[in-house]
Structure 1
């Protein structure tokens, strides 16, 4: 009886682990803090570049309007 129980226990545990690998998770992938900070800094620099381009285009338009 004890041998059967042990065999069934190991087979069930292997089946459970195999089934767990097949399941997908909705949890987002972990991103390290250093990577998050780098992405935030990159996004800030991009938004600054866009803002600077917008300011330049506005000043160019106002100069052409004055002429």
Structure 2
């Protein structure tokens, strides 16, 4: 009986591990702290560039309206 139990136990554990590998995780992929800071700095510079472009277009519109 003990030998059968041991064989079944190993087969079940192998099946369980194989099934676990097939499952995908909902957990987001880890991004290193330095990479997160670089992405944040890049996003900040892009948003600053967009804000500057918006301000420039508004000032151009107001100058043309005054003329």
Would the TM-score normalized by the shorter structure come out above 0.5?
yes
Q: Give the Å deviation of 1:4.
A: 2.3
Give the unaligned 5+ runs of structure 2: none
Q: CA deviation at 1:59?
A: 1.0
Q: CA RMSD in A?
A: 1.2
Q: Unmatched 5+ residue regions in structure 1?
A: none
Deviation, structure 1 residue 63: 1.2
Length-normalised TM-score, structure 1: 0.86
Q: How many residues align?
A: 67
What SS class does the counterpart of residue 11 from structure 2 fall into?
helix
Cα distance per residue 1:1-32 (max 9 Å; x no partner): 33322222211110000111111222111111
Cα shift readout 1:13-65 (whole Å, capped 9, x = no counterpart): 10000111111222111111111111111110110000000011011111111
